[in-house]
Structure 1
Amino acid sequence: MGLLSIVKGIVFFLVFAAIVFSVVLLVFDGKIPALNKAKNNNNKKNDSKGAKGTSNKSKDDSKKGEVKIATTQEFLDFEDIQIFNKDNPMGIIVRNNKTEFIGIVEVFGINYNLLSVEEREILEVSFGKLLNGIDYPIQIYVQSRKLDIDKYENRYEARLGEIKKNIDSLTSRYNFATENNENGENNAVIVELADKINKLTNQYNYGEEIKEYMMARSKQKNILERKYYLVITHKHNNKMFEEALTYEELLKNAFFDIANKANSIISSLQRSKLGGKMLNAVELAEVLYSAYNKSESSIYKISNALKSQFSHLYTTATPVELKTIARQIDEVERMKDEELRKLRELQEKEQEEAEGYYDLDVNYSPLTEAGASYRLKKPQG
């Protein structure tokens, strides 16, 4: 009996312990998701509060100032290129917050090796006097760039076109003199015209050969040329003026100061058997573009881009109405010239008839072998 009661007690304890453990598991299994849910809700609330705080902070930062994105142009050492006016396209470079202005004078080179000893000494003395006469700061800038063969090609083509026109004009005169040389009175004129035509033809052929040689040579090898510049600077000093000047007034003072200095330098260069000129705005842009883009400056030219309006937002053409008006004006002028020509022919014919001449037209026949028109004098009486 004692052993049986002990076994029953153990079994009862185990059953009771199992029931208690099951209840505990059920309770904690229900509470833990609830606790997690509550914790997640608290985290969401905290996140929303943090997000609101961040958004408020970003709004405050945006109120303080927007983030500025720097462009490539801001890293350049100049701000703008200005011209004086359309009639005088002299250009200056604006830099240093519109307080410093720069003008450039190009000095035309001379072949020093071809000069004699005396000419070299004269050139050196003259150039020394030029430098000693300058009492303001200047800079000497030498730029090497690929030879602009298009400029020389256009120059040759323009000159060859002029020679071709002269040849055509002389050829017309030669043919007219030959056709009206029945008695030999135009022999001297014909010989002179033939000599001129021969000389111009030789010049034209020689020019064509030179142009073809230059184009072939430039394609085979890059030819470099040197440009020599004198840089003139004008700096604005606010202390010299009682009131602050406007930007237009600053430009006006800079233009006059740089122009006076440039003219003085150019005059001194001419006395030294050298030449020079003040660069305009397009030429200044070419110099700067060649300095910053050495490899592309020979391909992309500022002057060609401006002529073709390559970088323009939009391009315009002549309106159709203006083209129609121009065509009508040309048509009226042509009709007017035709009427004047007919009137002159009629007047000449009436004058010839009054003087006793008439035209005899002969059609084609085996004897004459061609049609012809003869001017005969009327018989007297």
Structure 2
Amino acid sequence: MTDVLLILGLLAGGWVFSRIVLKEPILPWKDKKVKSNTVNKKGTKASDAKKMSKAQIEKEALLEQESTPFQEMFPNVIGVQDHMLRYSDNEFTMFAEVEPVNYFLRDPEEQEVIDIAFETWLASINYPVRIYLQNRFVDLTEPIEEITNQIEAAEDLNSAAYEFALNMIEDLEQWQKSQPRYETKRYILFDYKVEVKDLRLDNEDDLEERILEKAFNELTRRVQAARQQLRRGEMEVSLLTNDGITEVIYYAFNRRKAIKNRYRDLERQEKLAIYSTADQSPERIVRTKAEIDKFTQTEKQASRNSDEA
């Protein structure tokens, strides 16, 4: 009797184990549970849709929290005004571009002059400055355009020189497209905050004008000081205008696109103009007037022909 019960126990254990492995109900007369497989209109399960929507919400929230390089570098920016980048708390930043000098091609005496010029400038300042290096893709569009214009303007160019110029243009274009090549632009950023309480005002009407004047005079003085000191080391410093500051910001956020959508092309095509009546060159004004006159004469002639008919 004991052996029979043992055998029955082993069989029952084996049955339970096999049903669990096969994910079948232990009791044969019980129906198998059907998992919910509800599908939404987009073809995904309802649970997956909830997970996806939750993940999307978290991703959007994360993107909103992440700060862009522009916000990190220039927080609370209002805009570019009077050759300065202006912030909401009456703080201003002026940009100056520095032309590099090839330090390692100089002899020790010339390197010493460069070092002394830079060290003297650093020792003379008691205000914050920032050095900003911007890497851009090498753009040979303007040199190629200049060569092309010279070829077209030259009247006594022989066939060999003409062919050489065309081959050079082709080589330059191929060199630029063969692999990514970069150039580095060097800038010094001067920051200054205007304290309104320190300004002497005759009336409240000229507060804005006095703030701009104070910031511009102080930052210009700092740029001039840097120019004088660094010039001794053959490092030329030039102040950036509103257009120059806008170009730096454009290349900072469109580095890959800027090789095709060049900033200068945007400027030439007047996509930066606030109004359609932006300043035009005299040649373009004359050409536009000629087109208008031609169109007017055509319309008048068409009107006369219709009247005669």
TM-score (normalizing by structure 2):
0.58
Pairing 1:148-159 to 2, within 5 Å after superposition: 148-158=139-149
Secondary structure of the residue aligned to 1:246 is helix
Q: Distance in 1 between matches of 2:126 and 2:178?
A: 46
| Structure 1 unpaired stretches of 5+ | 1-71, 84-90, 172-196, 328-381
1:254 to 204, 215, 227: 215
Q: Which moved more, 1:294-303 or 1:101-110?
A: 294-303
1:313: Cα distance to partner? 7.8
Higher helix share: 1
Q: Distance in 2 between matches of 1:313 and 1:256?
A: 27
| Residue 80 (1) aligns with residue 74 (2) | no
Which one has the largest radius of gyration? 1
2:253 to 289, 292, 316: 292
Secondary structure of the residue aligned to 2:127 is coil
Q: Distance in 2 between matches of 1:318 and 1:228?
A: 37
Question: Residue in 2 aligned with 1:240?
Answer: 198
Between Structure 1 and Structure 2, how many residues are aligned?
214
1:137: Cα distance to partner? 1.9
TM-score (normalizing by structure 1):
0.48
Aligned CA distance change for structure 1 residues 115 and 320 (closer, same or farther; 3 Å) = closer
Question: Residue in 2 aligned with 1:54?
Answer: none
Post-superposition CA distance 1:4-23 (Å, at most 9, x none): xxxxxxxxxxxxxxxxxxxx
CA RMSD of aligned residues (A): 3.5
Pairing 1:69-218 to 2, within 5 Å after superposition: 77=75, 78-83=77-82, 91-95=83-87, 97-158=88-149, 160-161=150-151, 165=153, 168=155, 208-218=166-176
Counterpart of 2:177 in structure 1: which amino acid? K
Post-superposition CA distance 1:304-357 (Å, at most 9, x none): 223213366874685999327999xxxxxxxxxxxxxxxxxxxxxxxxxxxxxx
Q: Is the 8 A contact 2:196 2:211 kept in 1?
A: no
**Percent identity for Structure 1 against Structure 2:** 21
| Structure 2 unpaired stretches of 5+ | 1-66, 278-283, 295-309
1:280 to 241, 248, 251: 241
Counterpart of 1:82 in structure 2: which amino acid? Q
Secondary structure of the residue aligned to 1:272 is coil
Question: Residue in 2 aligned with 1:229?
Answer: 187
Question: Residue in 1 aligned with 2:290?
Answer: 323
Q: Distance in 2 between matches of 1:143 and 1:112?
A: 19
Aligned CA distance change for structure 1 residues 324 and 301 (closer, same or farther; 3 Å) = closer
